[in-house]
Amino acid sequence: MATSRTPVEVPTKRRIAVLTSGGDAPGMNGAVRAVVRMTIHRGCEAYVVHEGYDGLVCGGNMIHQMHWEDVRGWLSRGGTLIGSARCSSFRERAGRLKAARNMVLHGIDALVVCGGDGTLTGADIFRSEWPGLLRELVSTGDLTEIQIRPHATLNIVGLVGSIDNDMAGTDTTIGCYSSLNRICEAVDAVFDTASSHQRGFVVEVMGRNCGWLALMAAISTGADWLFIPEMPPRDGWEDNMCSIINRNRDRGKRRTIVIVAEGAQDRNLNKISSTAVKDVLSTRLHLDTRVTVLGHTQRGGAACAHDRWLSTLQGVEAVNAILEITPECPSPVISIRENKIARASMMEAVRQTQKATELIKAKKFEEAMSMRDPEFREYHLAYLNTTTTDHPKMALPESERLRVAIIHVGAPAGGMNPATRVAVAYCMTRGHTPIAIHNGFPGLCRHHADKPVGSVREVEWLEAENWVNEGGSEIGTNRSLPSEDMPTTAKVFDLYKFEALFIVGGFEAFTAASQLRKAREQYSAFKIPIVVLPATISNNVPGTEYSLGSDTCLNALVTFCDVIRQSASSSRRRVFVVETQGGQSGYIATMAGLSVGATAVYIPEEGIDIKMLARDIEFLRYNFASDRGANRAGKIILRNECASNTYTTQVIADIIKEEAKGRFESRAAVPGHFQQGGKPSPVDRVRALRMAIKCMQHVEGYAGKTPDEIADDDYSAAVIGVNGSQVLFSPLGGPNGLETTDTDWSRRRPKKEFWLRFQGLVDILSGRPKSDGGVQDGECWGCYEHT
């Protein structure tokens, strides 16, 4: 232990440290990168603590300063590059005393911690004890009053890194969707084998005290049965499970998937193992069954797009919170509700999380479910309602059953098929008749009464069941609108007695619904409830901040950029200009820019001019010149396809190459329709379930109403969407309708685009100079202090 004579550097700038502890989760590196660069941007000095709290206790070289270039390339790396370890010594006051001393010696009085509830609990205790710890260090002679004076207050902010997604107060935690990606990839991979041999697969996933991974995996893969710790099966579950699987087999389903959380148990808290489930299927159903325990493969690999932008945004918000909170404020944890990044009470979130675990152990399962996020219960009920489609108690009276038409409009997008599958399953559960319109409105109009061509027909359960993980559109889609032949459209609506219309698609779907609504005055056939579920990679539908397919697109684009960045880095000095889709909306380019750490992003909302290109080329020159070969220097620039008619992707690449004067190279890359992705991402699969069911419940509310009553209700033609922290319906028409209040018809996008505020973050985190010729606050790319 050092004495009071130990010299302490008095920092000229505030110092903020970041550590990861308790475990690792994909996306943690993105959080560390964001904290480091945002700290420097805000005029502070960034530090990291290696090996979690253990590094804080040991001190020395375990705590060191980080510079701008030190975190280059971290977004695509798995695990946590600064290490994570469980530290028993930090749980004792003596260990925390050493940690406090080491922080003072390094001039640090602000800490961002990323981990689970144990990590956050330790952080809160540390903060509450901080004044007492400093006084004790002074009294023992380890520090002096002068040394502790600049560090009288300790500010701590928490980030939740956990694949289990078990923290209360937030919809998702850093790493959970990356883990879900691994699970879905594994289960998708055994689909063909299971179908070919008519086998059963019991898949065990992580989740000792929380069943989020298991539940979302069951939804994403169309599993026949599910075991989670929060809601154990009732006695006799063996019979119920076998009954469901038998019915599905009798209906023609060749594969059987059962998802088991590692913490699965019965109502007496007896463990239900994956082997026990396999034995039931093998013995009672004589089903050739295999067990797959995914284990720690769920934790590995690079983070998915969702976890990359989530960790980035939360890391940025953590630094802002560190600099804004006062000694009187409780320590915050950074959360997300739907699309809104927010702050919550750290210890309240921990208490709620731990209470849920305690309730499970006390066999109070209903209360435990209520302690989870409301979305968790909603997803669980939705899963049950779409897995058991012939439950008599769920069926509506004949008078309330509807003939629901389902149509896809616009370009294909991941999530269209899962949404349609869910709508079909829900309709069958409730007694409605699902009717698929194949090949959009042209397919509908070709189906004349005198010459039916089979483009309008009822959907069979087995046909839709197989769409759970299929990309594109199995019933076909195109961009044609009903206005191209409105009389025939109305004629077919009457012919098939459509009583509700469910439209899945992008801006064309929004436009089609608007046209049908306006045509109600002329055609009574359209006086039925019409609801639009946005599904487009462009994410440009008014009324929502999220469209199905956009996450699948981002994952495909991130994978593409990771691969070409590897090529660019291998050659040391190469820039790739990548063209993204998105139409007149720069959403995909911007979010991909956050997810891959792009040097620059060009979007239609800002446009491109020669001054911008000259400034960015000068920025690239400096970066490559200061690199000196010490770091891999591959660069990515993203350009939205409609950012400029003049400065095309190839033209920009050529200009950069010409102006580089041989100091570095540039290439153009156009992934094109690769961005539509293959199989839908888990984010799009689970949100498809939630949104589709809400849409079906919405149209159910119009059962029994007259056509005029329906037409008089503004919400009878509506769009479902995510708005901030809510999921809600917005009317197309009326005084507050989307058609007039939030639609830029000429540019085919909303008037207000929530993500535009993230555009500046892409520039901040890349160090790119501002468009006015200035530099980012706290940074100067011409004379980086951190390089």
| Catalytic residue IDs | 164
Residue 243: CB atoms within 10 Å: 11
Residue 296 is labelled as binding a ligand: yes
On the 0-12 / 13-18 / 19+ scale of CB atoms within 10 A, 138 is middle
d(CA 45, CA 320): 14
Residue 562 is labelled as binding a ligand: no
Residue 574 is labelled as binding a ligand: yes
Residue 72 is labelled as binding a ligand: no
| Contacting residues for 708 by C-beta, under 8 A, at least 6 apart | 527
Residue 540 is labelled as binding a ligand: yes
Residue 493 is labelled as binding a ligand: no
- Residue from 484, 597, 712, 619 nearest 30 by CA: 597
Residue 377 is labelled as binding a ligand: no
- Give the pair of three-digit tokens for residue 108: 């640090």
Residue 641 is labelled as binding a ligand: yes
Residue 262 is labelled as binding a ligand: yes
d(CA 262, CA 219): 17
Residue 704 is labelled as binding a ligand: no
**Structural contact between residues 8 and 147, judged by C-beta atoms closer than 8 angstroms:** yes
CA end-to-end span of the chain: 34
Residue 676 is labelled as binding a ligand: yes
Task: Report helix, strand or coil for 49.
Answer: strand
Residue 581 is labelled as binding a ligand: yes
Residue 299 is labelled as binding a ligand: yes
- Residue from 229, 187, 178 nearest 207 by CA: 229
- Integer Rg of the chain from CA: 28
Largest CA distance in the chain: 99
Residue 583 is labelled as binding a ligand: yes
Place of tokens 């149509």: 407
Residue 539 is labelled as binding a ligand: yes
Residue 118 is labelled as binding a ligand: yes
**Residues pairing with 335 in the sheet:** 342
Residue 536 is labelled as binding a ligand: yes
- Residue from 590, 602, 545, 543 nearest 756 by CA: 590
Strand 433-437 and strand 456-458: the pairing is antiparallel
Q: What DSSP assignment string belongs to 121-150?
A: HHHHHHHHHHHHHHHHHHHTTSS-HHHHGG
Within its chain, how far is the Cα of 551 from the centroid? 7
Backbone angles phi, psi at 447, to 5 degrees: -90, 75
**Structural contact between residues 681 and 304, judged by C-beta atoms closer than 8 angstroms:** yes
Residue 380 is labelled as binding a ligand: no
Residue 119 is labelled as binding a ligand: yes
Residue 561 is labelled as binding a ligand: no
Residues annotated in a binding site? 23, 86-87, 116-119, 162-164, 199, 206-208, 262, 290, 296-299, 479, 536-540, 574, 581-583, 641, 667, 673-676, 748
Residues annotated in a binding site for ATP? 23, 86-87, 116-119
Residues annotated in a binding site for Mg(2+)? 117
Residues annotated in a binding site for substrate? 162-164, 199, 206-208, 262, 290, 296-299
